[in-house]
Structure 1
Amino acid sequence: MSVVLFTLGGTIAMAGSAEGGVVARLTGAELVAAVPGLADLGHTVDVRDTRAVPSANLTYRQILDLVDAASSAVTGGATGVVVTQGTDTLEETAYLADLVWPHPEPLVFTGAMRNPTLAGPDGPANLLAAARVAAAPAARDLGVLVAFHDEVHAARFVRKAHSTSTAAFVSPNAGPLGHVVEGEVRMLTRPPRLDPLAGVDRDRLDAVRVALHTVTLDDDLLIDLFRNRDGLVVAGFGVGHVPSELAPVLGELAERVPVVLTSRTGAGSVLRQTYGAVGSEIDLQRRGLVNGGLLDPYKAKVLLRLLLAAGADRAAIAAAFARHG
Structure 2
Amino acid sequence: MGVTLFALGGTISVSGGAADERLTGADIAAAVPGLGGLGVPLDVRDVRAVPSGSLTFADVLDVVQAASRAVADGADGIVVTQGTDTLEEAAFLVDLLWRHDAPFVLTGAMRQPAMAGADGPANVLAAVRVAVAPAARGLGALVAFNDEVHAARWTAKSHSTSTAAFVSPNAGPVGHVVEGRVRILARPERRALLPLDTDRTRLAATRVALHCATLDDDGTTHTSLADTHQGLVVAGFGVGHVPAHLAPVLGDLAARMPVVLTSRTGGGSVLSHTYRAPGSETDLLGRGLIDGGMLDPYKARVLLRLLCASGAERTRVAAAFVQHG
* TM-score of the superposed pair, with normalisation by structure 1: 0.97
| 33-42 vs 54-63, greater mean Cα deviation | 33-42
Cα separation, 1, equivalents of 2:59 and 2:13: 18
Q: Answer yes or no: is 1:144 the counterpart of 2:141.
A: yes
Residue in structure 2 matching 1:217, options 215, 218, 221: 215
Match in the other structure for 2:233: 233
**Which amino acid in 2 is paired with 1:235?**
A
Post-superposition shift, 1:195? 2.3
Post-superposition shift, 1:224? 2.5
**Which amino acid in 2 is paired with 1:226?**
L
Match in the other structure for 2:92: 95
Post-superposition shift, 1:196? 1.2
Cα separation, 1, equivalents of 2:246 and 2:17: 48
Q: Answer yes or no: is 1:32 the counterpart of 2:45.
A: no
Cα separation, 1, equivalents of 2:60 and 2:160: 23
Residue in structure 2 matching 1:45, options 42, 47, 58: 42
Deviations 1:101-145 (A, max 9, x none): 100100000000000111010000000000000010000000000
Match in the other structure for 2:13: 13
Which stretches of structure 1, 4 residues or longer, exceed 4 Å deviation after superposition?
Answer: none
Cα separation, 2, equivalents of 1:279 and 1:40: 58
Match in the other structure for 1:314: 314
**Which amino acid in 2 is paired with 1:304?**
L
Task: Give the 3-state SS of the residue equivalent to 2:190 in structure 1.
Answer: coil
Match in the other structure for 1:277: 277
Query: Quick check: 2:7–2:47 contact (8 Å CA) kept in 1?
Result: yes
**Distance change (3 Å), C-alpha of 1:179 and 1:23:** farther
User: Would you say how many aligned residue pairs link Structure 1 and Structure 2?
Assistant: 322
Cα separation, 2, equivalents of 1:225 and 1:111: 39
**Which amino acid in 1 is paired with 2:294?**
L
Query: Quick check: 1:10–1:24 contact (8 Å CA) kept in 2?
Result: no
Residue in structure 1 matching 2:203, options 202, 205, 210: 205
Match in the other structure for 1:66: 63
Post-superposition shift, 1:284? 0.3
**Which amino acid in 1 is paired with 2:295?**
L
Q: Answer yes or no: is 1:304 the counterpart of 2:304.
A: yes
Task: Give the 3-state SS of the residue equivalent to 2:189 in structure 1.
Answer: coil
Cα separation, 1, equivalents of 2:21 and 2:305: 29
Identity %: 67
Cα separation, 1, equivalents of 2:237 and 2:21: 38
Task: Give the 3-state SS of the residue equivalent to 2:171 in structure 1.
Answer: coil
Give unmatched runs, 5+ long, in structure 2: none
Match in the other structure for 1:121: 118
Post-superposition shift, 1:201? 2.1
**Distance change (3 Å), C-alpha of 1:276 and 1:305:** same
Deviations 1:202-240 (A, max 9, x none): 221111000000000011112225131110000000000
Query: Quick check: 2:16–2:112 contact (8 Å CA) kept in 1?
Result: no
Query: Quick check: 2:192–2:323 contact (8 Å CA) kept in 1?
Result: no
Post-superposition shift, 1:17? 3.0
Cα separation, 2, equivalents of 1:174 and 1:203: 36
Query: Quick check: 1:91–1:155 contact (8 Å CA) kept in 2?
Result: yes
